[in-house]
Amino acid sequence: MSPLVVGITAVAVFVAASIGAVVSITKSRDWRSFYPALLIAAYACVTAAVTAAGRIGFGVEQSLDSRYRTFSLFFYLATVALLFALYCRSVVLGNTKSRSRFIAGCSVVAIAASAAWVLCYLDGLRHLEQLYSRNLTLIRALKWINVIPDNPDALLIYPIAEQFAERSPVIRDHQLLRLPYPTQSVIRTVQQLPPDFDDQTFGRVETCMIDTNHNLYITGWAKLPTRHHHADTIVIGCQDSTGNYKPFSVMKTDIPATKTGHRSKTPLVRFARVFNAANVPAGEITIAAWAVDTQGQKAYPLGGATQIRQD
C-alpha cells in the first residue's frame, strides 16, 4: 500500500475525530475530557507546519525528509488520543448499542491500520538498502568536504554549501563524528591530474557520458597492488580548457562478495554511478579519477581519462 494512501486515510480519521470532539464539547460544554488530546494535536500540527514552511524553500525533499518523522509520531498519538476521548465521553456514558457500534468501528479501523502498517513495513524493508546507500553517500561527502566543498551530495546534509564547508572543520576537530578523514597527503594527491592516462596498472575509467539533464554516468574498475586492501573510494575530477583540474565528486566501489557473504580478497573492484554534474565547469573537459584506499590512506591514479562536453 502506498504511504500516500495511508497518510490521506490518517488525515481523514484525524479530521473526523477533531470534528467529533468539537461537536461533543459544544453539546456538553465539557472540554476537560478532550484537553490533553487537543493539546497534543495542536502541538503536532503547529510544529509540523512551521518546520515544513521553513524547509520547503530548499525543496520538497528537504521538508519531507525522514528526520522529521517525530512530527508524524505526535500526529498519530493525537489521533489515538482524540478517538479515546470520544469513546470515554460519548460512548461509555451512552447506551449499550452505541458502545457496540463504536467498538465495532474501532475494531475495523484497527485491523485496517494494522494491515496498512505491515504493508508499509514491508515496503520500507525494500527501500532500506537504498537508504543505507544514501547515508553512506552523505557520509562520504562529509569526509571529503574540504576537498570538494561544492559537492552536490553535501547539499542534502546542509542546504548552503559555503556555510557547511566552513562548519565541517568544527565537526572534525571536536570529533563529533569519528570518521576516517583523508590525510593531507591524499588530499594533495587527488587535487592533481593523474600523470599518465594510458597507464592502467591501478585501473581505468571505462565509460563516461553526460546527458541533457546534466547527469554524469561513469563506470570503471580499480585494482590495488596490495592483496588485502581495496580501493573503497573513487575521487572523480575534471580538467577544463584552461588546464585547471579539480575534484568534483566521490563515489564508492562495489567490493565483490564471496559465497559465504564476506568480502572477497581479490583487490579488483568496480564502480558505477549516475550523479549530478552541477559543479562541473562548462565547455570541453577531461574526466579523470583516483582510486583511494581509505584504510591505507593512499591514492592511486586511474587510466582511461575521457573527454566530454558540458553545455
Are both 58 and 93 inside the same structural domain? yes
Q: What is the pLDDT of residue 301?
A: 92
Contact of 197 with 237, CB cutoff 8 Å: no
Cα(296)–Cα(274) distance, integer angstroms: 27
Are both 48 and 108 inside the same structural domain? yes
Are both 17 and 88 inside the same structural domain? yes
Backbone torsions φ then ψ of 299, nearest 5 degrees: -120, 140
Cα(71)–Cα(53) distance, integer angstroms: 14
Cα(303)–Cα(311) distance, integer angstroms: 25
Q: What is the pLDDT of residue 150?
A: 84
Q: Which residues of the chain have pLDDT under 70?
A: 1-4, 56-68, 90-95, 161, 175, 227-229, 255-267
Are both 206 and 89 inside the same structural domain? no
Going by their DSSP bridges, the two strands 215-223 and 268-276 should be labelled as antiparallel
Number of separate domains in the chain: 3
The gap from C-alpha 156 to its chain's centroid, in whole angstroms, comes to 7
Q: What is the pLDDT of residue 93?
A: 65
Q: Which of 126, 152, 168 is the C-terminal boundary of a domain?
A: 126
Cα(259)–Cα(248) distance, integer angstroms: 36
Are both 144 and 187 inside the same structural domain? no
Which residues, including other chains, have CB under 8 Å from residue 140's CB and lie 6 or more apart?
A: 153, 233, 250, 251, 252
Nearest to 35 by CA among 94, 87, 92, 81: 81
Cα(177)–Cα(252) distance, integer angstroms: 19
Are both 174 and 66 inside the same structural domain? no
The domain of 91 spans: 3-126
Q: What is the pLDDT of residue 92?
A: 64
Nearest to 282 by CA among 237, 236, 240, 235: 240
Reported as type and span, the H/E element at residue 133 is: helix 128-143
Are both 228 and 252 inside the same structural domain? yes
Q: What is the pLDDT of residue 209?
A: 87
Amino acid (one-letter) located at 154: A
Q: What is the pLDDT of residue 290?
A: 93
What are 263's strand-pairing partners? 257
Which residues, including other chains, have CB under 8 Å from residue 300's CB and lie 6 or more apart?
A: 202, 203, 222, 224, 231, 290, 291, 292, 293
Are both 173 and 187 inside the same structural domain? no
Q: What is the pLDDT of residue 27?
A: 81
Cα(271)–Cα(231) distance, integer angstroms: 10
Backbone torsions φ then ψ of 134, nearest 5 degrees: -65, -40
Are both 166 and 213 inside the same structural domain? no
User: Dihedral angle at the C-alpha atoms of 49, 50, 54, 57, nearest 10 degrees?
Assistant: 20
Are both 261 and 302 inside the same structural domain? yes
Are both 89 and 38 inside the same structural domain? yes
Cα(13)–Cα(28) distance, integer angstroms: 22
Q: What is the CATH number of the domain that holds 187?
A: 2.60.40.3760
Query: Quick one: cell of 184?
Result: 593531507
Are both 228 and 261 inside the same structural domain? yes
Q: What is the pLDDT of residue 1?
A: 54
